Amino acid sequence: MNIQKNRYQSGDRRNLHGGYSDFWLYLIFVIAASTFCILLAQLSHGSSLRVWYYKLNHKEVIGKGMEHIDQAGKTAGPAGNLLTYYRFQEFGASNPEEVDVNAPMVALTFDDGPNPEYTSRILKVLQDNYSQATFFVVGTNAEKYPDTLKAVLGAGCELGNHTLNHKKLTELNDVEVVEQIDGVDRAVKSATGENTTVIRPPYGAYDDELLNQLNVPVVLWDLDTEDWKSRNAQTVVDSVLSQVKDGDIVLMHDIYESTAEAVEILVPKLKERGYLVVTVSEMARYKGKELEMHKAYGEVGGTAQ
């Protein structure tokens, strides 16, 4: 501002009426103002600011993701380009309006936990990669490990119901089914204050009667890693990377060390391939298809039934 005042005093009328120097000052002002506004917008998104700095200091990541900017721009509008890219790449799925819905997506799902050790390792690698997953918990474990349940939701992940005692629901009567479902929901509610949003019946066993009885969507899978059988991290990694495609729901179990190890390798590899690693419900939303109750989903895109 001092500079401008001095120039007016010099009586140079060309500058006063918008000569080149004024143009540059104006430009600098606009750039400064825009930067301020962008930083303010970032601040209003809380931890996004951290990512902003992170990106500035990791140019190679920006370079690698450049192609996504244009794609994302198509969905978010030109003004959103850069921020869209940051969210898309670094926050994965946290903001539906700004996610590149054309990016390939995969939903990793974990059954039979929570397990304080392995679930926590999986959450860490997900968070380190700004990714999310869905955890179908068994009631008896949910009761034992409320802190792990809280950590799952704290990491932006989704909690699903996998019955109180891992029972085959199609072999139970209505009252027993309700007890199996409610048992999990009670544990989840008392630990986190939230309800489960999806259910995966043990052994994938369901029928029409069960579907009609449940008031949340049934989520199955279409990529089975058979991690319980191999108990080998590399085998699990290979089974996913050799088969994975857009919209897949991957079945794993967060009760084995080999699975935690596999996820530590897998999540960065999936991101390298351009996959957005999200929860099942998010994947459905991004693909324009909310999951509905009384329906079963084996992948997102189609229904299993």
Q: Which residue has the tokens 């324009």?
A: 288
Distance in Å, CB of 182 to Zn ion, minimum = 18
Taking the least distance from each CB to Zn ion, the nearer of 139 and 202 is: 202
Asked if 92 interacts with Zn ion (CB under 5 A), we say no
What residues have CB less than 8 Å from 148, skipping those under 6 apart? 113, 114, 115, 116, 119, 120
Distance in Å, CB of 56 to Zn ion, minimum = 44
By CB under 5 A, the count of residues binding Zn ion is: 3
What residues have CB less than 8 Å from 218, skipping those under 6 apart? 198, 199, 200, 201, 206, 210, 211, 295, 296, 297, 304
Count of CB atoms within 10 A of residue 232's CB?
A: 16
Stretch that binds Zn ion, among 103-111, 174-182, 276-284, 288-296 (CB under 5 A): 103-111
Distance from C-alpha of 213 to C-alpha of 30, rounded to nearest angstrom: 59
Radius of gyration of the chain, Cα coordinates, nearest whole angstrom: 25
The Cα-based distances of 111 to 45, 145, 199, 252, 273 in angstroms read 32, 15, 11, 6, 25
What binding mask, one character per residue, do residues 5-34 give for Zn ion by CB under 5 A, x or -?
A: ------------------------------
Cβ-proximal residue to Zn ion, closest one: 111
Taking the least distance from each CB to Zn ion, the nearer of 125 and 138 is: 138
Distance in Å, CB of 303 to Zn ion, minimum = 21
Taking the least distance from each CB to Zn ion, the nearer of 99 and 137 is: 137
Q: Which residue has the tokens 């120039």?
A: 7
Asked if 100 interacts with Zn ion (CB under 5 A), we say no
Of the residues 98, 112, 227, 254, which one makes contact with Zn ion according to CB under 5 A = 112
Distance in Å, CB of 202 to Zn ion, minimum = 5
Out of 111, 222, 248, 254, which one is annotated catalytic? 111
Do residues 120 and 151 lie in contact, with contact meaning Cβ atoms separated by under 8 Å?
A: yes
Distance in Å, CB of 47 to Zn ion, minimum = 34
Mark whether 253 is an active-site residue. yes
What residues have CB less than 8 Å from 295, skipping those under 6 apart? 211, 217, 218, 303, 305
Asked if 160 interacts with Zn ion (CB under 5 A), we say no
Asked if 202 interacts with Zn ion (CB under 5 A), we say yes
Question: In sequence order, what E strands does the chain have?
Answer: 105-111, 134-137, 158-161, 198-199, 218-219, 223-224, 248-253, 276-277, 296-297
Asked if 139 interacts with Zn ion (CB under 5 A), we say no
Distance from C-alpha of 265 to C-alpha of 255, rounded to nearest angstrom: 17
Stretch that binds Zn ion, among 26-34, 119-127, 196-204, 215-223 (CB under 5 A): 196-204
Q: 152: which DSSP letter?
A: H
Asked if 185 interacts with Zn ion (CB under 5 A), we say no
Stretch that binds Zn ion, among 28-36, 200-208, 235-243, 278-286 (CB under 5 A): 200-208
Stretch that binds Zn ion, among 57-65, 194-202, 280-288, 290-298 (CB under 5 A): 194-202
Asked if 111 interacts with Zn ion (CB under 5 A), we say yes
**Which chain residues interact with Zn ion by CB under 5 A?**
111-112, 202
Active site residues: 111, 253
